[in-house]
Amino acid sequence: MNLHALRVFHTVARLASFSQAADALFISQPAVSKALKELEHQLDMQLIERAAKGKKLTLTASGNALYAHARSIFAIEKAAIDDINARKGLKKGALLIGTSTTIANYWLPPYLAKFKQKYPDIKIEVQVANTAQIEQALLDCTIDLALVEGSPHQTGIISRHWQQDKMSVVLSCDQQIGKNTQKWLNEQVWLLREPGSGTLEMSLKWLEKLKIQPQNVIQLGSNEAIAHAAAQGLGIALLPQVVCADLIALGKLQSLVEFEHMDMARPLLQLQFKDRPSSHAALAFEAVLYAE
């Protein structure tokens, strides 16, 4: 198989654009089209749907299958390059970490400090997004290591338990709780994260377990936004305790004591793309994450 043509196909499929692929590969758009046609001719199958102008580029079933293989092939290629650089004793190189907002804000900083003290010459970049976006970045090999809340959903990703993140049901200190707590909670406005968020996934699981079926929901894009909205009396939320600690200490939020006996916690996981060997920098950071 022509690996140049396969790289062109992989780039087009990843970016869903002929023009963006041409820019990324520093070749002309006609050269991109020519490489794809040659690859389809060689394989004797159509890989990309020829949609009308302006329509989003889509892959055929065969194209999706080949893209999965190509992703693994170029993941191994990147791992080889990373490995060669890493053999210089971690004196140069980069570590790209993908993580969710809560982990980036509250859990990750002390581990980054320890790693940087041990390996000062390694460049660190942290990409912050929701769990679904981080999984996709891991599959696209744009990050080396991922730390998220909740279980992975994408095929090809494996997980390892890292920490437990305790959660609480919180509301404004000015709110008065009804005598029938269960009925009262069902009638309240609930503040939830957006689809794809690990916090949303865990919140929905616990709401179901607590037999709470909120009819009035407001979605917000970060746990901090939810915590401050709850403190203003906008609604009730199920949030990590690390997010709420300062507002509770200031007397702006309260946690429902009715649920404090329950072990409401979510796992924080390290994710890895199973077809991509970890770089030396990623392995060194893992050692810091799991050090006693």
**Neighbour-count burial of 73, counting CB atoms closer than 10 A to its CB (0-12 exposed, 13-18 middle, 19+ buried):** middle
Domain-wise residue ranges, the chain: 3-84, 90-162+268-289, 164-266
pLDDT for the residue numbered 67: 95
Q: 26 or 130: which carries more pLDDT confidence?
A: 26
The reply to whether 90-162+268-289 shares the fold of 3-84 is no
pLDDT digits (tens, 9 = 90+) for 102-129: 899 999 999 999 999 999 989 999 999 8
β-partners of residue 216 are 189
d(CA 85, CA 123) in angstroms, rounded, equals 13
Give the highest mean pLDDT range of 166-170, 176-180, 192-196, 228-232. 228-232
Amino acid in the structure at residue 217 = V
- Dihedral angle over CA of 275, 279, 282, 284, nearest 10: 130
Q: 277 or 192: which carries more pLDDT confidence?
A: 192
CATH classification for the domain delimited by 90-162+268-289, as one of 3.40.50.2000, 3.10.270.10, 3.30.70.990, 3.40.190.10: 3.40.190.10
The number of beta carbons lying within 10 Å of the beta carbon of residue 242 is 16
DSSP E strands in the chain: the ranges are 48-49, 58-59, 94-99, 123-128, 145-149, 157-172, 189-192, 216-219, 237-240, 253-255, 265-273
What mean pLDDT comes out for the span 220-249? 93
pLDDT digits (tens, 9 = 90+) for 59-90: 999 999 999 999 999 999 988 888 777 776 78
In the chain, what are the helix, strand and coil shares in percent, each to the nearest 5? Answer: 45, 20, 30
Quote the distance between the C-alpha of residue 274 and its chain's center.
16
Quote the distance between the C-alpha of residue 103 and its chain's center.
11
pTM of the model: 0.66
Assess contact for 116 and 95: CB atoms under 8 A.
no
CATH number of 3-84: 1.10.10.10
Topology of the domain comprising 164-266? D-Maltodextrin-Binding Protein; domain 2 (3.40.190)
Flag whether pLDDT at 196 surpasses 90.
Answer: no
d(CA 260, CA 67) in angstroms, rounded, equals 48
Flag whether pLDDT at 51 surpasses 70.
Answer: no
pLDDT for the residue numbered 55: 67
